[in-house]
Structure 1
């Protein structure tokens, strides 16, 4: 049995599987080694993952996570997992690789994550060959829920929202500027807090002002990321994540402006990732070999 995990900044989907079936599914909070240390990750996993695995002991764990983009960060996660599962073989990779494998399988394409944060890559059917950097919450994350929340709340506090929208947002959140800034800068994961405001944008997505904010979010994403990849006009552009899923019609309309071909939009990479790993288990004939 192997355990695969797809972790964003908000939530993590864990699936225990063999060659033919999913044996267990568990959901925990998200983990991001950019903001969390090994001990914090270990304590949360010990509390929310371990009791829900029914004493299953995976021979290997494949963890794909937001922020897992360097050996130092990956070690924070792998050390926490190794403490919990000392006999398991641990693999920690970027969530971008899970997106590419889930969306494209063994075919070339452009894989995009649009959730709490955002990221993209060029995938040749086996490996990631190019990646325009996301730069994270402070400098980038265009197209994401956090970026959309930033556009919305900036317009609100700068008094740029139409009166009916401003009143509706005030009634929904009842938050002052100081309360907002305290919550934002005091948050363990600021992008996660900012992305909560994307729900308001979704609820009001038919309003012309909000619709324009949504298109600005996606246009910035396409121009700063997808259009930089060689072959972007010929290759399929595929998406995973809650923002891509819930704003799919707006996303498709924005893509048409650039002549891009969107093939797949899914909310979670879990199903595609499960299929990918089960195919590899069948080919290898073992639960350990990737």
Structure 2
């Protein structure tokens, strides 16, 4: 039996896999080595995953996570998991690898993540051949929940929202400038905090102002990532993540503007990832 995990900054999905398929499922908070150190990750796993799966001793663990592209960050996460499962073989991979394997299979394509954060890569059917730099929540993450949340909060605090949307936003959240500044500059996980406001955008997406904000956020993602890949219009482009999934109709309209072929849009890569590792166990 092996364990696979797919982690964004907000949540982590865990699966126990055998050659017969998924044995058990669990969910914990997200893991991102840019926001948590090794001890914090290990403590979270001990208090959540071990509680859900007491006594489990997997042979191997394959962890795919946001922020796990650099070797030093991979080492941080590996060390944390090793504290919890000392007898398991552990591999830590970037979440882009999970997305590419789940979305593209063995076909070339461009795989994109649009969740709390955003990312993308060019996949040749076997491995990632190019991935543009991910500048994170402060400098990048275009098209993500964090990016959209940041835009609506900025517009609210700067009194740039239409009166009806401003009133609805104020009634729902009762936000103050000091509260926002505290969350963004003093508390951990500002990206998660901002991403919570994407739900407001979804609920009001029929409003012309909100629709245009969503549309522009996706357009920014295409401008900063998709169109920079060589011959990008020759590939199927796939998306995974809650933002891509729930705003899929708008995302497809933006793609049409850039003459991009959108194929799969999945909320989670876990089903495809589970199948990938199940087949490896059989082999």
TM-score tier by shorter-chain length is over 0.9
Kept after mapping to 1: 8 A contact 2:59/2:89: yes
- Bigger CA drift: 173-182 or 161-170? 173-182
Corresponding residue for residue 280 of structure 1: 280
Please list every run of at least 4 consecutive aligned residues from structure 1 whose deviation after the TM superposition is greater than 2 angstroms. Answer: none
* 1:54 Cα offset (Å): 3.9
Partners of 1:40 and 1:147 in 2: CA distance: 26
The separation in 2 between residues aligned to 1:212 and 1:157, in whole angstroms, is: 18
Residue 8 of structure 1, CA deviation: 0.3
- Aligned residue number for residue 131 of structure 2: 131
Task: Say which is worse superposed, 11-20 or 274-283, in terms of deviation.
Answer: 274-283
Aligned to 2:241: 241
Measured after TM superposition, the shift of residue 193 of structure 1 is 0.4
Q: Deviations over 1:40-89 (max 9, x none)?
A: 00000001001212422110000000001111111111001111111110
Q: What is the TM-score when the length of structure 1 is the normalising length?
A: 0.96
Q: TM-score with structure 2 length normalisation? A: 0.98
Query: Which residue does the alignment assign to 1:160?
Result: 160
Structure 2 distance, partners of 1:87, 1:179, is 44
**Which residue matches 2:112?**
112
Q: Which residue of 2 aligns with 1:150?
A: 150
Q: Is this contact kept in 1: 2:116–2:145, CA < 8 A?
A: yes
1:171-215 deviation digits (Å, cap 9, x = unpaired): 000011111111222231110001011110000001000000001
| Aligned match of 1:288 | none
Question: Matches of 2:24 and 2:89 in 1, distance apart?
Answer: 19
Secondary structure of the residue aligned to 1:233 is helix
- Return the alpha-carbon distance in structure 1 between the equivalents of residues 154 and 88 of structure 2: 46
Corresponding residue for residue 225 of structure 2: 225
Partner Cα separation in structure 2 for residue 68 and residue 21 of structure 1: 26
* Structure 2: distance between partners of 1:175 and 1:223: 31
2:81 counterpart residue number: 81
Supply the distance in 2 between the matched residues of 1:187 and 1:102 (Cα, whole angstroms).
Answer: 34
Consecutive unaligned residues of structure 1, counting only runs of 5 or more, are 284-290
* Conservation of the 8 A alpha-carbon contact between 2:21 and 2:274: no
Q: 1:215 — aligned with what?
A: 215
Secondary structure at the aligned position of 1:244 is classed as helix
Match of 1:181 in 2: 181
Counterpart Cα distance in 2 of 1:218 and 1:108? 23
